[in-house]
Amino acid sequence: MKLELLKGSRTRILAAVILAIVAIFVVRLFYLQVIKHDYYVGLAKAEQESRFVIPASRGEIYAKNGTDPVPMVMNETVYTVFADPVTVDDKAKVVDTLRQVAGGNVRTDFDKLLDNKNSRYQVLANKLTRVQADKIKAVNLHGIGFQAVSQRVYPEGALGAQILGFVDTTGQGQYGLEGYENGVLKGVDGYLQAVTDVSNVPLTIGNDNISVPKQDGKNIVLSVDRNVQSHVESALAAGLQKNGAKKGSVLVMDPTNGKVLAMANLPTYDPGNYGQVADVAAFNNDTVSAPYEPGSDVKTYTLATGIDKGVVKASDTYNNTDHIKIGDITVSNATLGHTGNITFQTALTWSLNTGFVTIAERLGDGTNITKSARDVMYDYFHNRLGLGSLTGIELANEAPGTVIAPDDPSGDGNAVRYSNMAFGQGLDATLIQVASGFSALVNGGNYYKPTVVDGYMTDSGYKQNPTPAPLRANVVAKSTSDQVKQATHDARATSFGKTDKAGYYIGGKTGTSQVIINGQYSSTETVGTYLGYGGGSEDAPRYVIMVQVSGADQLLGGAQDALPIFTDISNWMLDYLKIQPKG
Amino acid sequence: MSNQQNNYYTSRRQQNWSRNQNTTRFVSSVKLGPVAHTVLVALMITVLGLIYLTQATRTTGYDYESQKIDSQIADLNNQKSDLQIENARLTALSTVKDSTVAREMTTPSSTAYVQQ
């Protein structure tokens, strides 16, 4: 018997229906699995995979303790305690525990925050240590969570605050080294993309896992010696208390390599509490970011230029009448009475402006500060010794200052300006520029780029940078350098030598600069400075120190107000560096 | 009609299986039918599947182990950092200056130098 489905039979209809349903399934599955393949694969990945940013650790900052690095800025993990008021079931226990463990870290009225049932996130306490967080975790409070945050800590407190700078709430370095070297300190975050389980634990299954390791920031070692820095800050504070100056800055450098040993400014701030500073001007490091008219300190530059060009020696004489006419202006000495034929050494010792205007004239035709004289002065002051140009020190917000070139289109680089520049007016420079140029004048004639970075801390230990080479060698001849050292030594010895420790070779120059207010030199405000060096003998200056004191509506002098601070630091440095007296 | 007989040479090697080859054939007395074959194949597939699952689970187990170790490392690093900070605070210049030892120190009235 031959079996076959009869046309129109129920079985045949059922077969057709099943076939139709299967066809629908096939079409639908084709649509889902082939046409919409990428879309659903994407959805599945989004569900199964997680992406994690692995934060890089910010580099730490070290100072020197003699020759060993010691930490100045470190990273500490602190914890923020937050609550979900809706899920907190034992408010009394939470309040009691936080009061006992977190103490002063809890927010004011944090217990009332727990009553805010409209919110799912309330911060109860900030900056808890790991130990405090562990104690709270051990109590197992329901509805309480912890968030770990890395913050900068300063074991040395406010020491060297304006060198260091700080890190703001967005993780960016501001001011000082933190600002300048932000990219180096910050490092590069890592990245992990992986299939995770329900607890967000990354699993090795899957083909699309990506792991990019983090690169921690570099740990920088400063050339700053914490002992020198500490003494400099104390000496500056004591000096300002004594002379009543509102502001002060001190810079200590090694003239043989440009390394900064200390850099201090007052007023200052605590980088651990930078948000509480009353005046943001305290963030500025005035030694690098506040150009001013350096005044008589620059006379050492003029003398060096004259000696190096062979137009004068310190022992040469000129006729001092206490006044000298340049064009239609008359330049007078601040100290009167040393008239007649006097040496340039006497002019330096008594800081007589006429002597240095005379040197500028002798660089020209002998009676005029000619264009060639101005070109020579600009070459020495600006090109060779770095006044009015950025030094490139590794600190944020360095200001270039201004030295107007003789051929400046404004016509301001004329003889009158250069007569003023000969004794330190009519140009703007920072302390770091003046001290770096002076270092070249006393170290034998080599200009070193000033630096605050001495090396890096690596996993294998301290890696010191190679010994710096001069940025510009022989900016003045060795013989010129020797004569400038002798002249500044004699200038100091004549009036202030008794304050120095016996047997050492100390030299320096006072500076008292008038301040320009509303385009005019003020008669009620002056800035006092002292720029000098010290060492065991004339052959080896071991340090250069520059001191500046200033204040609005204050008449401050280099000899009376800045020099005592120099002397204090200089005498201490002789002991600290274990320099033996000559003879 | 002639009766022709061809003689072909056959080597001894061709006559036997081949040299050094076992010519004994073992025939099992156990006979497997198609159902037993199917069951065996299904069992083998199941065993292979189980082996795969075991291995996959084992690697995932290592992930948890690794996560646990990472967490311990992070914890220990945190503790190390805390100790380093504490050490830095205890050896900070201000701490040293304020110590009782430092307070009892006096400034020497004179200093002598030995020529080296």
Considering only CA atoms, which of A435, A430, A416, A295 is closest in space to residue A353?
A295
Chain B residue nearest residue A157, CA to CA: B94
- Which of A76, A156, A580 shows the shortest C-beta gap to B93? A156
In this predicted structure, the answer to whether residue B116 has a pLDDT above a threshold of 70 is: no
pTM, full prediction: 0.84
A203 interaction partners in chain B (CB closer than 8 Å): 60, 63
* Rg of chain A over all Cα atoms, to the nearest angstrom: 35
Residue A544 pairs in a beta bridge with A253, A533
Find out whether A24 and A174 touch, Cβ atoms under 8 Å.
Answer: no
Q: Facing residues of A81 across strands?
A: A125, A146
Q: C-alpha angle A171/A173/A179, rounded to 5°?
A: 165
Judging contacts by C-beta atoms under 8 Å, the chain B residues touching residue A202 are: 63, 67
Least Cα separation, residue A19 to chain B (angstroms):
30
Beta bridge partners of A167: A173
The candidate with the shortest Cα–Cα distance to A576, out of A227, A295, A325, is A227
Tokens for A404, please give them.
């107007």
* Predicted local confidence at residue B1, as pLDDT: 43
A264: helix, coil or strand? strand
Q: Please give the Cα distance from A357 to A299 (Å, whole number).
A: 10
Query: Are B115 and A71 within 8 A, CB to CB?
Result: no
Q: Do B63 and A201 touch (CB under 8 A)?
A: yes
pLDDT digit string, tens, across residues B71-102: 899 889 888 999 999 999 999 998 988 888 88
Residue of A nearest to B82 (CA): A76
In the predicted model, what is the mean pLDDT of residues A20-35? 95
Give the residue ranges of DSSP H helices in A165-246.
176-180, 182-186, 226-243
pLDDT of residue A130: 87
Q: B56: which chain A residues are within 8 Å (Cβ-Cβ)?
A: 205
**A272-282 confidence digits (pLDDT tens):** 999 999 999 99
Rounded Cα distance, A74 and B83, in Å? 12
On whether the CB atoms of residues A486 and A538 are closer than 8 A, the answer is yes
CB contact under 8 A, A156 and B79: no
Name which residue leads in pLDDT, A71 or A581: A71
Asked if the C-beta of A205 comes within 8 angstroms of chain B's C-beta atoms, the answer is yes
SS3 A561: helix
C-beta of residue A429 within 8 angstroms of C-beta of residue A421: no
Extract long-range pairs of B23-29: CB within 8 Å, 24+ residues apart: none
Nearest CA to CA, how far is A153 from chain B (Å)? 8
Give the residues across from A455 on adjacent strands: A221, A464
Spatial separation of the C-alpha atoms in residues A387 and B72, rounded to whole Å: 55
Cα gap A393→A433, rounded to integer Å: 10
What is the per-residue pLDDT for B27? 72
Distance from CA of B36 to the nearest CA of A (A): 33
CA distances from A15 to A7, A10, A468 (A): 12, 9, 93
The two tokens of residue A407 are: 């051929």
Residue A291 three-state SS: coil
Task: Output the CA torsion sign for A469, A474, A477, A481.
Answer: negative
Lowest mean pLDDT among A88-102, A416-430, B95-109: B95-109
pLDDT of residue B2: 45
Chain B hits for A575, Cβ within 8 Å:
111
CA dihedral (B22, B24, B30, B36) in degrees, to 10, reads 40
The Cα A545–Cα A438 span in angstroms is 10
Is the preceding omega at residue A450 within 30 degrees of 0, hence cis? no
- Spatial neighbors of A473 by CB under 8 A, at least 6 apart, are A445, A446, A447
pLDDT of residue B9: 60
Which of A120-129, A167-176, B91-100 is modeled with the greatest confidence? A167-176
CB count in 10 Å sphere of residue A552: 11
pLDDT at B107 over 90: no
Is A318 in a helix, a strand, or coil?
A: strand
Q: How far apart are CA A388 and CA A434, in angstroms?
A: 9
Asked whether residue A83 carries a pLDDT value surpassing 60, the answer given is yes
A204:B81 CB<8 A: no
B82: chain A residues, CB-CB within 8 Å: 76, 129-131
User: CA A454 to CA A474: how far, in whole Å?
Assistant: 24
- For A547, counting Cβ atoms within 10 Å of its Cβ (0-12 exposed, 13-18 middle, 19+ buried), the class is buried
Using an 8 Å CB-CB cutoff, list residues of chain B that contact chain A: 56, 59-60, 62-64, 67, 78-79, 81-82, 84-85, 88-89, 91-94, 97, 111, 113, 115-116
Residue A537 identity: S
Cα of A204 to nearest chain B Cα, Å: 7
A368: left (phi over 0), alpha (psi -120 to 50) or beta: beta
Q: Which of A132-141, A396-405, A503-512 has the lowest mean pLDDT?
A: A132-141
Is the CB of B88 less than 8 angstroms away from the CB of A71? Answer: yes
| Residues 6 or more apart in contact with residue A463 via CB below 8 angstroms | A455, A456, A457
Residue in B62, B67, B81 closest to A76 by CB: B81
Q: Which pLDDT score, from 0 to 100, does residue A518 have?
A: 87
Q: Strand pairing of A49-54 and A260-266?
A: unpaired
List Cβ neighbours of A99 (8 Å cut-off, separation of 6 or more). A106
Domains of chain A plus CATH, in order, are 54-103+119-217 (3.90.1310.10), 224-510+524-576 (3.40.710.10)
Pick from A292, A289, A294: which is nearest to A162 by CA?
Answer: A289
**How far does the CA of residue B65 sit from the closest CA of chain A (Å)?**
11
Give yes or no for A70 touching B (CB within 8 A).
yes
DSSP track, A51-102: EEEEPPPPPPEEEEETTEEEEEEEEEEEEEEEE-TTT---HHHHHHHHHHHT
Averaged pLDDT, A561-567: 97
Contact A182, A173 (CB under 8 A): yes
Q: Which chain A residues have a beta carbon less than 8 Å from that of B85?
A: 74, 76, 153, 155
Instruction: Determine if residue A355 is left, alpha or beta; phi over 0 gives left, psi from -120 to 50 gives alpha, anything else beta.
Output: alpha
Task: Report whether pLDDT(B4) > 60.
Answer: no
Query: For chain B, give me the number of helices (H) and strands (E)?
Result: 4, 0
Amino acid present at B16: N
CA distance A576 to A225: 11
Q: What is the pLDDT of residue A387?
A: 97
Per residue in A368-405, pLDDT tens? Answer: 999 999 999 999 999 999 999 999 999 999 999 999 99
Residue B112, token pair as written in the block:
């002598």
Please name the amino acid found at residue A358.
T
How many CB atoms sit inside 10 A of residue B21's CB? 7
The first and second tokens of residue A120, run together, are 């799912």
For chain A, what percent of residues have pLDDT higher than 70?
A: 98
- As a whole number of angstroms, the distance between CA B84 and CA A154 comes to 12
Q: How far apart are CA A92 and CA A460, in angstroms?
A: 51
CA distances from A164 to A58, A168, A398 (A): 14, 13, 14
The tokens for A58 are 């910010």
The H-or-E segment that residue A526 falls in is strand A520-535
